[in-house]
Chain A
Amino acid sequence: MQRDKQRRGVLDLLRVRDLGIVYALILLVVVLTIVSAATGRPNYLGGDNVANILDQASLVGILAVFMTVVLVSGNFDLSVGSIGALAAAISLSVIDERGVVVAVLLAIGAAAAAGLVNGLIVQVLGINAFIVTLGTMTALRGVVLILTDGRTITAESSDARTALQSIESGFWTVNVPVILGVLALLAAGAAFAAGHRGRRLAVLGGGGAILAIAGFAGDMGFRYAKPVWYMAAITLMTWAVLRFTVVGRRLYATGANMEAARLSGINVARYKVVPFVLTGAAAGVVGVLYGAKLGATNPTALNGLELTVIAAAILGGTSLFGGSGSVITSVVGALFLFTIANGFNVLNLGANYQDLIEGVVLIVAAGVYTVASRRKARAGSAPEPPEDGASTPAGPAATSTATPPARAEALHG
């Protein structure tokens, strides 16, 4: 409250630490739109192109959500690409004999089990997550090689292939304004019933009603590929759990200070292990979707995916040291990466430059976040910081700027 009244820099005012990637995406889209128009290309923001970007980003987006959960809990997961490949291989190798339902469940179950193994090794044996998941990443890729015998595998039975592909391909049209409007109305109604009153409530309810009616009357349906809707649903659900529930709060607390969380009566083992299981399961879903798209998979499927996913989370402002981050901005980070790729494509710029640009963007983003949180820490710092080690490396900036030596080695060494 009081902090709002204090003088703030531009970076703070725009909440760059929280929303930087959103501004960056808007800026990127504006630039690409103007350049497309100026060079006489079709409208960049045309429905097809947007649908395209969303479709391409969906798998990375889904994983970025759970990577964020793992990062918030104070861990790290490099094995998502290999787990995904494993799930794809499993689903395609059993689908002919056992049908699509068993294949999908088996694949996702195996993926979740792989996540559980990650989590248990990290938590019970206390080995650094970076090292553990580097190991499982390599080992599981080896399992994929064994399963596929180094060859591409496909679903032979055409029935099975069709059933599998129906999970992934095809479009759903969803009237997003109506859904959002109805959700806003419900939220406003619930708050009203709980005794809340006031202008913000009226705005929420009124806005919701207008949105719902306009969406209905204008038939504002959005037609996107199924994975896009999977991503949207998963993101919203996870966001709501993290933002609004006791579970979410405890997850952030565990990531922010595990010992304090443990001594506050939180079951930290659960909050450390479950994120790995969820991430494993999500990687399983992604692997199944990947296999379904092509009806086939090969030993190098989803290779290197983990780095794109982590890049998306970092672009979204998630701290590598736990306790902070948002799944929504991580998904926006994924969209940003795929918008760059798409921009290169649409504008016919040499694809050779793409990796260079993405790498630079990642570092610039990390730099902006670091500067923003350092400023926040400085602006808020008390005249005399705690003198007794209450917050050893001074204040909030420490999480993202002053890299704890052990972690730094693990991450960069």
Chain B
Amino acid sequence: MPSGEHSPLLLSMRGVRKVYPSGTVALSGVDLRVGAGEVVGLVGANGAGKSTLIKVLSGAVPATDGAIEWEGASQAWAVPADAQAAGVATVYQHIPLAHTLTVIENVFLGRTGWRRSSVKLERELAQLLERIGYAIDPHATVEELSIGQRQMVAILQGIAQGARLLVLDEPTASLARGEREVVFEAVRRLSKSGTAVLYVTHFLDEILDLTDRVTVLRDGRVVADDVTDDLTEDALVRSIVGRELLRVEQQEIDLPPADAPLLLEVEDLRSGDRLQGVSLRLRAGEIVGIAGLLGSGRSELLHAIFGADPDARGTVRMEGRELSRSPRAAVAAGLALVPEDRGKQALFPDFEIWRNASITDLPTLSRGRALPDSERERERARDAIRALKIKAPGPDALVGELSGGNAQKVVFAKWMYSGARVFLLDEPGSGIDIGAKADIVELVRELARSGAAVLVADSEFSELLAVSHRVLVLRRGRVVAERASGATSDHELVGLASGLEKEMQHAA
């Protein structure tokens, strides 16, 4: 692989500063170098300035100060089209493709001119696919594609414009394992063929595997810029977080007493072919993990317990009392759901923190249970900001302006103060940085210590093991195994969840 020192410098950003009109300093003097054909990793916690840096680089926002050099010539890209013309293609996390058009139409969307020769474009697409080692039906419409395939179409679109530098913003965040491999392969091949890649991600194993060099941002500054081979995951984590990370690994978790009261009982819960008869029990103070791969029914299970799945059949009892099947009944009984997609399923981005935090418990904060008392609501939000260490200017900050980790804490605040006793957490750590993740783990433990029961689904099994007392393995809508956290491993869980380790299930 080409390494930074030897390849000619393609991009050099020096002393780039960005101050937003609101006065927020997003970048305070950042240097970034990318050599031709080099794969550079860009990492940092949420709020470190990664997104802003990418936007400056792609011409989407102007830098307040600093210099950008492209192939040795100074540049001031005013609009994204300028950067694109120069050879910078940016693939954002939320892929802006034309959903009703076909793959080939999307890939060559930027192509100008009156006439399109489909034969020529097809030949060109075939060459591009060859280059990144990928295969896809050129005439499938984008709306038929999986997220992983869309990601690849976006990458193809980038290189079809003749990109010399491809910026990938969290390309694997929502991809399944197999789909990630495809992206990795494409990055490797592109790098070999001379296209540089700036790879932005939360996944440190990808950074270590894939990149030649890593630039670490913290609070708008570069705190590390090293050749990947000299780095370890530990060192990387330290520079990202800026402190020794709270060990979230296996620690002695105090088990709840065996006679702790039973809070939640689920019996034979079914929903179509996604849930095929799941039963489970949760005692007060217990944290139970659900280990399941994509499509195993883990989200469906949590939604069904919460009464949010109208097709679900089966019994859910809360402290012995059977619940009717609606989220309203579940909330009234003390169930809480922290869903996977907070922006769409849990938060009101245009509302302030206080209006978000109070929505589940409005009558309690109201005069005569009918007229909300905004002072008490704000007071509760202030409590939550303090207790959960939410980084926000105050209770009046809009939730849409918070970073992922802080938004997730607002979701927790919604439930913690409304007397919920059973927490259903769906991928609580998705899309949030390491520091906030550690806070959330601590929070979950605190909830259990205070007598709540927690059911948590997570696709990162090591994180699941770190937080839960026992783990239920879910495969194709069935609980196929149960393990105490101390008596199993990440590897065994993957085996069980993927169906590779059937014999171990019997052995147990």
Q: Nearest CB to that of A190 among chain B residues?
A: B367
- Judged by a CB distance under 8 angstroms, whether B344 is at the interface is yes
Inter-chain CA distance A250–B401, complex, in Å, is 22
Contacts of B370 in A (CB 8 A): 245-247
Interchain CB contact under 8 A, B170 and A387: yes
Interchain CB contact under 8 A, B24 and A265: no
- Judged by a CB distance under 8 angstroms, whether A379 is at the interface is yes
Q: Nearest CB to that of B369 among chain A residues?
A: A246
Interchain CB contact under 8 A, B398 and A395: yes
- Judged by a CB distance under 8 angstroms, whether A382 is at the interface is yes
Closest Cβ of chain B to A124, distance in Å, is 12
Segment among A211-219, A255-263, A363-371 that sits at the interface with chain B: A255-263
In A385-413, the 8 Å CB interface with B consists of: 385-396, 399
Interchain CB contact under 8 A, B344 and A257: yes
Given the known A-B contacts A249-B359, A263-B308, A263-B339, are A379 and B21 also in contact in the complex, defined by CB atoms under 8 Å?
Answer: yes
Given the known A-B contacts A1-B393, A265-B332, A379-B22, are A391 and B369 also in contact in the complex, defined by CB atoms under 8 Å?
Answer: no
- Judged by a CB distance under 8 angstroms, whether B341 is at the interface is yes
- Judged by a CB distance under 8 angstroms, whether B46 is at the interface is yes
Interchain CB contact under 8 A, A249 and B431: no
- Judged by a CB distance under 8 angstroms, whether A140 is at the interface is no
Interchain CB contact under 8 A, A267 and B396: no
Closest Cβ of chain B to A105, distance in Å, is 28
- Residue from B47, B343, B362 within 8 A of A384 (CB atoms): B47
Closest Cβ of chain B to A133, distance in Å, is 25
Inter-chain CA distance A401–B372, complex, in Å, is 30
Interchain CB contact under 8 A, B350 and A392: no
- Judged by a CB distance under 8 angstroms, whether A323 is at the interface is yes
Segment among A2-10, A284-292, A305-313, A334-342 that sits at the interface with chain B: A2-10
Inter-chain CA distance A194–B22, complex, in Å, is 38
- Judged by a CB distance under 8 angstroms, whether A210 is at the interface is no
Inter-chain CA distance A3–B401, complex, in Å, is 12
Dominant secondary structure at the A interface: loop
Interchain CB contact under 8 A, A264 and B46: no
Inter-chain CA distance A389–B342, complex, in Å, is 8
Segment among B230-238, B402-410, B438-446, B480-488 that sits at the interface with chain A: B402-410
- Residue from B49, B339, B343 within 8 A of A391 (CB atoms): B343
Dominant secondary structure at the B interface: loop
Inter-chain CA distance A390–B25, complex, in Å, is 22
Interchain CB contact under 8 A, B22 and A392: no
- Residue from A266, A381, A384, A390 within 8 A of B48 (CB atoms): A384
- Judged by a CB distance under 8 angstroms, whether B50 is at the interface is yes
Closest Cβ of chain A to B222, distance in Å, is 15
- Judged by a CB distance under 8 angstroms, whether B371 is at the interface is yes
- Judged by a CB distance under 8 angstroms, whether A40 is at the interface is no
- Judged by a CB distance under 8 angstroms, whether B151 is at the interface is no
Interface string of A236-254 (1 = CB under 8 A from B): 0000000011110110110
Given the known A-B contacts A264-B414, A383-B52, A387-B170, are A256 and B350 also in contact in the complex, defined by CB atoms under 8 Å?
Answer: yes
Interchain CB contact under 8 A, B20 and A389: no
Interface size class of A (residues with CB under 8 A): 35 or more
Given the known A-B contacts A259-B344, A395-B401, are A246 and B363 also in contact in the complex, defined by CB atoms under 8 Å?
Answer: yes
Inter-chain CA distance A394–B332, complex, in Å, is 33
Interface string of B321-347 (1 = CB under 8 A from A): 000001110111000010101111111
Inter-chain CA distance A388–B428, complex, in Å, is 12
- Judged by a CB distance under 8 angstroms, whether A150 is at the interface is no
Inter-chain CA distance A146–B80, complex, in Å, is 59
Interchain CB contact under 8 A, A7 and B328: no
Q: Nearest CB to that of B365 among chain A residues?
A: A246
Interface hub of A7, A250, A385, A387 (most chain B Cβ within 10 A) = A387
Inter-chain CA distance A264–B346, complex, in Å, is 7
Inter-chain CA distance A7–B24, complex, in Å, is 11
Closest Cβ of chain A to B444, distance in Å, is 19
Given the known A-B contacts A253-B359, A379-B22, are A263 and B345 also in contact in the complex, defined by CB atoms under 8 Å?
Answer: yes
Contacts of A245 in B (CB 8 A): 370-372
Contacts of A382 in B (CB 8 A): 24, 47, 401-403
Interchain CB contact under 8 A, B23 and A388: no
Given the known A-B contacts A265-B360, A384-B48, A386-B402, are A2 and B347 also in contact in the complex, defined by CB atoms under 8 Å?
Answer: no
Interchain CB contact under 8 A, A389 and B50: no
Closest Cβ of chain A to B240, distance in Å, is 14
Inter-chain CA distance A396–B20, complex, in Å, is 17
Closest Cβ of chain B to A323, distance in Å, is 6
In B208-230, the 8 Å CB interface with A consists of: 220
Contacts of B346 in A (CB 8 A): 260, 263-264
Interchain CB contact under 8 A, B362 and A260: no
Contacts of A221 in B (CB 8 A): none
- Judged by a CB distance under 8 angstroms, whether A359 is at the interface is no
Inter-chain CA distance A253–B24, complex, in Å, is 29
5 chain-A/chain-B pairs, Cβ below 8 angstroms? A261-B348, A266-B359, A380-B401, A384-B46, A390-B400
Residues on A lying within 8 angstroms of B by beta carbon are 1-3, 6-7, 194, 244-247, 249-250, 252-253, 256-257, 259-267, 323-324, 378-396, 399
**Given A1-B393, A392-B343, 17 more contacts at CB 8 Å?**
A1-B395, A7-B21, A245-B370, A245-B372, A249-B355, A249-B359, A249-B372, A260-B348, A264-B414, A324-B350, A378-B22, A380-B22, A383-B47, A385-B401, A386-B403, A391-B343, A395-B349
Residues on B lying within 8 angstroms of A by beta carbon are 18, 20-26, 46-52, 93-94, 170, 173, 220, 306, 308, 326-328, 330-332, 337, 339, 341-351, 355, 359-360, 362-363, 366-367, 369-372, 393-404, 407-408, 414, 430-432
Which 9 pairs between the two chains have the least Cβ-Cβ distance? A388-B431, A265-B331, A383-B26, A2-B393, A391-B349, A391-B400, A390-B343, A388-B404, A390-B407
